[in-house]
């Protein structure tokens, strides 16, 4: 009872003092409130992000644990390690040797074999594609098909001819241009098409060597692929979903293109530019008039008429021209006459601004997209992947694309959308490790030539000190002849494989799902020990396996904790200092209180209560602000304005949750620390003797 009344008196006195020093109180309170806000809001948000990111990483490709060879020169980084170039990960030569031991562990639920590599996507320009089709038609002898291809080629030649006509105004080398124009004219002549039916080889060579290069070169596309057991992968990773086409059938070699990769690299350029503007303008709310990047994309879009024109035949061109005239006239944007070419109309159509963008975007997808090949590769098509194999040789492997896929919630993420999935059999072929048999063959070849190994340092002495460099044929008047050796063409990989092939042979890493995630650390250690008895391996958790993005959250956490620490430290120093100053300012008052019988404990308690009340009130305000901000953001969502954020949020928006633990812990930490910082001034004030008050009076 006595303590309560004492506390009441102390509290009233403390509140009075705080009120009398309003400005200082407000300043100190503000800093403490901010510190509390950061602890409660920042750490809650971080925990939410970590939760979504963890789910995204584990359920897309990593699993709870990843296992890879200890002989790897680089660390496994599924989503990129932050450095350019291919990672050097060693192989696990035979998966069948480690699989039983992995599955034997009581906490291991699923094991998914994997391997990552890069391949080059072989592709010619549009002329190459047209001429390939024509060659196939001529070989087949199908007259209808030949006629159809002839029309396509002639239309393309007509388009090229117009382009070269325009090129006359800007080309410096007029002689070369004239020659190229004459080639186009020759290829378009009736005589040429009569001859091609009689003897196609020479004429085809003319088209392929003289005309095809005139369309320019396409830049190469590098394709990152993940070799795995496709069925196992589909069943294990809950975020995996087929977007178009179908799943790779069991026992068939095939590929699933990442939907994001296809959108970013294999879509026709004008569509890509339209999509980029749509995302920035419509989804993010930026304006073409004010945003510099949008303006740049807008300028690039305005130049994209050519890819559309090259995809159209004569009838489609006429139809689209008519429709486009109607569209532009309806909007009074067709000042030209009805004689305008489709090229002119498209050039006008592709100039977009804030007012017409959505209408143009919709019209493009409704009327133009169905006429053109929107994507370079579509389900059902067979593509050729070129890889520089581990044996050093270049390998070209055909693989059928069965469909496209994405990870649920990560559809817009470029980081998550970089893996194109294939089966392990195709992966191993592209990886191309040197076999014992191949090595023996090379030794045999070398023996037949009897080459001399010479170090570069001694080469000139070794090569030019001995015999004369010129030898003569025995009979100087008859050149040597030799019979061509027999050529055995390398066989391609079969389309089918035995399902057990996926459980045997080379892999690079495996994803491991656990039954009980809480035992992750122990299981990680146990597996590493257990498998290393068979093959030296590293077993790492999902966060480490994800690479730089997984570490990103740790970086944010450290930055946030550092920020909070600095703010709290500043607050505590200010509290400490201002209370010391207050002690000196209030010497007379304290002395008087002591003279009236106030005990040292009373004086110290007064200062401690002051700090306590200030920090309690301030941290309460900070916690309330954090709660309010979280509740508001939960209703509207935090937009993922960058690809990394899409990945971290596992979607385009994050809806944060109120974290009760931090709402209690945050203010508690602030109150305790503030009270501790008031200890020294409180003791200093308590040590003021009553006589001092009298001396001051004198």
Partner 1 sequence: MYARVIFVMGILLSQALLALSPEETAKLVASIDENQRNSGDYKSLVFIEEKERNKPTKLFEALVYRRDVDDKWIILFTKPKSEGGKGYLRVEKNIFLYEPALGKWERTTERARIGGTNSQRSDFDESRLAEEFNHQYVGLEKLGKFPVHHLKLSVKTGIDVAFPVLHLWVDQDTKNILKKQDFSLSEKLMRTIYYPKWEKMYSRSKKADVYVPKEIRIFDEVEKDNSTLVILKEVSLDPLEANIFTKAWIEKKSK
If the CB atoms of residues 341 and 458 are measured against partner 1, the closer one turns out to be 458
If the CB atoms of residues 219 and 339 are measured against partner 1, the closer one turns out to be 219
If the CB atoms of residues 19 and 464 are measured against partner 1, the closer one turns out to be 464
Gyration radius from the chain CA atoms: 37
| Position among 480, 518, 635, 697 found at the interface with partner 1 (CB under 8 A) | 480
At 397, which helix (H) or strand (E)?
Answer: strand 394-407
If the CB atoms of residues 80 and 398 are measured against partner 1, the closer one turns out to be 398
| Position among 144, 190, 436, 473 found at the interface with partner 1 (CB under 8 A) | 473
| Position among 92, 119, 134, 212 found at the interface with partner 1 (CB under 8 A) | 212
Give the interface segment with partner 1, choosing from 31-39, 275-283, 327-335, 457-465 (CB under 8 A).
Answer: 457-465
Question: Does residue 219 belong to the site contacting partner 1 (CB under 8 A)?
Answer: no
Give the interface segment with partner 1, choosing from 149-157, 486-494, 497-505, 510-518 (CB under 8 A).
Answer: 486-494
If the CB atoms of residues 332 and 456 are measured against partner 1, the closer one turns out to be 456
Give the interface segment with partner 1, choosing from 111-119, 351-359, 480-488, 640-648 (CB under 8 A).
Answer: 480-488
| Position among 178, 289, 394, 534 found at the interface with partner 1 (CB under 8 A) | 394
Question: Does residue 485 belong to the site contacting partner 1 (CB under 8 A)?
Answer: yes
Least distance in angstroms from the C-beta of 119 to partner 1: 14
Q: Which DSSP category does 260 fall into?
A: H
Q: Which two tokens stand for residue 453?
A: 């190994």
Give the interface segment with partner 1, choosing from 37-45, 474-482, 524-532, 603-611 (CB under 8 A).
Answer: 474-482
Reported as half-sphere exposure (CB side, CA atoms, 13 A), residue 295 has a value of 4
Number of neighbours of residue 558 by Cβ within 10 angstroms: 10
| Position among 106, 285, 392, 597 found at the interface with partner 1 (CB under 8 A) | 392
Dist. CA 233–CA 60, nearest whole Å: 9
Question: Does residue 393 belong to the site contacting partner 1 (CB under 8 A)?
Answer: yes
Question: What's the burial of 376, exposed, middle or buried (CB within 10 Å: 0-12/13-18/19+)?
Answer: middle
Question: Does residue 330 belong to the site contacting partner 1 (CB under 8 A)?
Answer: no
Work out the angle between the directed axes of helices 660-677 and 679-686 (0-180°, nearest 10).
30
| Position among 96, 140, 189, 209 found at the interface with partner 1 (CB under 8 A) | 209
Dist. CA 123–CA 121, nearest whole Å: 6
| Position among 170, 198, 292, 476 found at the interface with partner 1 (CB under 8 A) | 476
Question: Does residue 178 belong to the site contacting partner 1 (CB under 8 A)?
Answer: no
Dist. CA 214–CA 2, nearest whole Å: 100
Q: Quick check: helix, strand or coil at residue 512?
A: strand
Q: Which two tokens stand for residue 502?
A: 């996926």
DSSP 101-123: HHHHSTTEEEEEEEEEEEEEE--
Number of neighbours of residue 329 by Cβ within 10 angstroms: 12
| Position among 142, 217, 250, 585 found at the interface with partner 1 (CB under 8 A) | 217
Q: Which two tokens stand for residue 167?
A: 């090129």
| Position among 454, 569, 641, 668 found at the interface with partner 1 (CB under 8 A) | 454
Question: Does residue 457 belong to the site contacting partner 1 (CB under 8 A)?
Answer: no
Question: Does residue 445 belong to the site contacting partner 1 (CB under 8 A)?
Answer: yes
Give the interface segment with partner 1, choosing from 94-102, 482-490, 653-661, 690-698 (CB under 8 A).
Answer: 482-490
Dist. CA 117–CA 432, nearest whole Å: 11
Give the interface segment with partner 1, choosing from 38-46, 441-449, 619-627, 674-682 (CB under 8 A).
Answer: 441-449
| Position among 469, 518, 635, 642 found at the interface with partner 1 (CB under 8 A) | 469
Contacts of 104 (CB under 8 A, 6+ apart): none
Dist. CA 331–CA 340, nearest whole Å: 16
Question: Does residue 478 belong to the site contacting partner 1 (CB under 8 A)?
Answer: yes
Question: What's the burial of 81, exposed, middle or buried (CB within 10 Å: 0-12/13-18/19+)?
Answer: middle
Dist. CA 72–CA 537, nearest whole Å: 9
| Position among 82, 100, 322, 492 found at the interface with partner 1 (CB under 8 A) | 492
CB 526 within 8 A of CB 56: no
Question: Does residue 208 belong to the site contacting partner 1 (CB under 8 A)?
Answer: yes
Q: Which two tokens stand for residue 650?
A: 């596992």
| Position among 290, 338, 339, 471 found at the interface with partner 1 (CB under 8 A) | 471
Contacts of 443 (CB under 8 A, 6+ apart): none
Least distance in angstroms from the C-beta of 118 to partner 1: 15
Name residues contacting partner 1, limited to 349-388 (CB under 8 A).
Answer: 384, 388
Rounded alpha-carbon distances, angstroms, from residue 475 to 468, 472, 480, 484 = 19, 8, 9, 21
If the CB atoms of residues 190 and 484 are measured against partner 1, the closer one turns out to be 484
| Residue matched to tokens 């309170």 | 29
Give the interface segment with partner 1, choosing from 161-169, 340-348, 473-481, 630-638 (CB under 8 A).
Answer: 473-481
| Position among 6, 103, 303, 463 found at the interface with partner 1 (CB under 8 A) | 463
Dist. CA 252–CA 202, nearest whole Å: 39
Least distance in angstroms from the C-beta of 113 to partner 1: 24
CB 420 within 8 A of CB 227: no
Rounded alpha-carbon distances, angstroms, from residue 168 to 163, 187, 344, 628 = 9, 20, 18, 67
Least distance in angstroms from the C-beta of 303 to partner 1: 24
Least distance in angstroms from the C-beta of 493 to partner 1: 8
Question: Does residue 210 belong to the site contacting partner 1 (CB under 8 A)?
Answer: yes
If the CB atoms of residues 94 and 208 are measured against partner 1, the closer one turns out to be 208
CB 418 within 8 A of CB 546: no
User: Which residues here bind partner 1, judged by CB under 8 A?
Assistant: 122, 124, 128, 132, 201-202, 204-205, 208-210, 212-213, 217, 384, 388, 390-396, 398, 434, 438, 441-442, 445-446, 448-449, 451, 454, 456, 459-461, 463-465, 469-473, 476-482, 484-493
């Amino acid at each position: 009872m006595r303590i309560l009344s004492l506390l009441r008196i102390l509290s009233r006195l403390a509140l009075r003092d705080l009120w009398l020093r309003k400005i200082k109180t407000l300043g100190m309170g503000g800093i403490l409130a901010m510190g509390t806000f950061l602890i409660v809001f920042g750490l809650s948000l971080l925990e939410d992000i970590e939760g979504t990111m963890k789910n995204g990483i584990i359920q897309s490709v990593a699993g709870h644990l990843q296992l890879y060879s200890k002989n790897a020169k680089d660390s496994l980084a599924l989503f990129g390690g932050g450095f350019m170039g291919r990672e050097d990960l060693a192989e696990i030569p035979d998966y069948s040797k480690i699989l039983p031991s992995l599955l034997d562990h009581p906490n291991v639920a699923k094991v998914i074999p994997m391997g990552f590599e890069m391949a080059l996507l072989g592709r010619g320009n549009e002329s190459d594609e047209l001429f390939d089709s024509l060659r196939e038609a001529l070989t087949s002898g199908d007259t209808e098909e030949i006629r159809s291809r002839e029309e396509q080629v002639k239309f393309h030649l007509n388009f090229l001819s117009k382009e070269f006509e325009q090129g006359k105004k800007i080309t410096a080398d007029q002689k070369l241009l004239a020659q190229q124009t004459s080639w186009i004219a020759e290829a378009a002549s009736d005589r040429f098409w009569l001859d091609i039916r009689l003897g196609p080889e020479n004429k085809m060579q003319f088209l392929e060597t003289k005309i095809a290069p005139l369309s320019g070169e396409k830049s190469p596309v590098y394709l990152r692929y993940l070799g795995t057991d496709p069925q196992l992968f589909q069943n294990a990773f809950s975020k995996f979903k087929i977007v178009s086409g179908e799943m790779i059938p069991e026992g068939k070699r095939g590929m699933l293109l990442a939907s994001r990769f296809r959108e970013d690299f294999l879509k026709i350029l004008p569509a890509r530019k339209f999509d980029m503007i749509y995302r920035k303008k419509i989804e993010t709310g930026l304006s073409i008039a004010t945003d510099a990047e949008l303006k740049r994309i807008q300028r690039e879009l305005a130049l994209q008429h050519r890819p559309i024109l090259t995809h159209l035949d004569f009838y489609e061109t006429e139809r689209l021209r008519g429709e486009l005239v109607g569209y532009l006239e309806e909007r009074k944007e067709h000042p030209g006459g009805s004689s305008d070419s489709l090229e002119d109309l498209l050039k006008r159509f592709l100039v977009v601004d804030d007012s017409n963008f959505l209408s143009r975007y919709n019209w493009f997808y409704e009327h133009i997209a169905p006429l053109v090949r929107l994507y370079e590769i579509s389900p059902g098509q067979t593509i050729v992947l070129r890889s520089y194999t581990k044996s050093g040789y270049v390998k070209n492997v055909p693989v059928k694309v069965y469909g496209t896929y994405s990870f649920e919630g990560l559809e817009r993420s470029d980081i998550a959308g970089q893996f194109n999935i294939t089966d392990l059999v195709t992966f191993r072929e592209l990886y191309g490790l040197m076999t014992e048999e191949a090595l023996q063959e090379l030794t045999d070849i070398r023996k037949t030539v009897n080459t001399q190994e010479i170090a570069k340092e001694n080469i000139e002495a070794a090569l030019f000190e001995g015999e004369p460099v010129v030898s003569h044929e025995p009979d100087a008047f008859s050149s040597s002849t030799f019979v061509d050796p027999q050529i055995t063409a390398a066989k391609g990989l079969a389309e089918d494989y035995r399902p057990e092939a996926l459980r045997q042979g080379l892999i690079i890493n495996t994803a491991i799902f656990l039954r009980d995630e809480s035992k992750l650390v122990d299981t990680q250690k146990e597996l590493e020990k257990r498998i290393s008895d068979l093959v030296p391996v590293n077993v790492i958790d999902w966060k480490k396996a994800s690479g730089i993005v997984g570490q990103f959250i740790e970086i944010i956490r450290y930055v946030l904790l550092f920020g909070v620490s600095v703010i709290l430290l500043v607050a505590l120093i200010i509290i400490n200092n201002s209370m010391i100053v207050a002690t000196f300012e209030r010497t007379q008052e304290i002395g008087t209180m002591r003279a009236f019988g106030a005990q040292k404990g009373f004086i110290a308690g007064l200062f401690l209560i002051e700090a306590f009340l200030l920090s309690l009130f301030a941290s309460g305000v900070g916690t309330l602000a954090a709660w309010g901000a979280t509740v508001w953001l939960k209703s509207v969502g935090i937009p993922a304005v960058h690809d990394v954020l899409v990945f971290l949020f596992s979607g385009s928006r994050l809806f944060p949750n109120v974290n009760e633990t931090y709402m209690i812990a945050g203010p508690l930490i602030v109150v305790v620390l503030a009270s501790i910082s008031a200890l020294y001034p409180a003791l200093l004030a308590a040590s003021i003797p009553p006589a001092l008050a009298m001396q001051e009076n004198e």
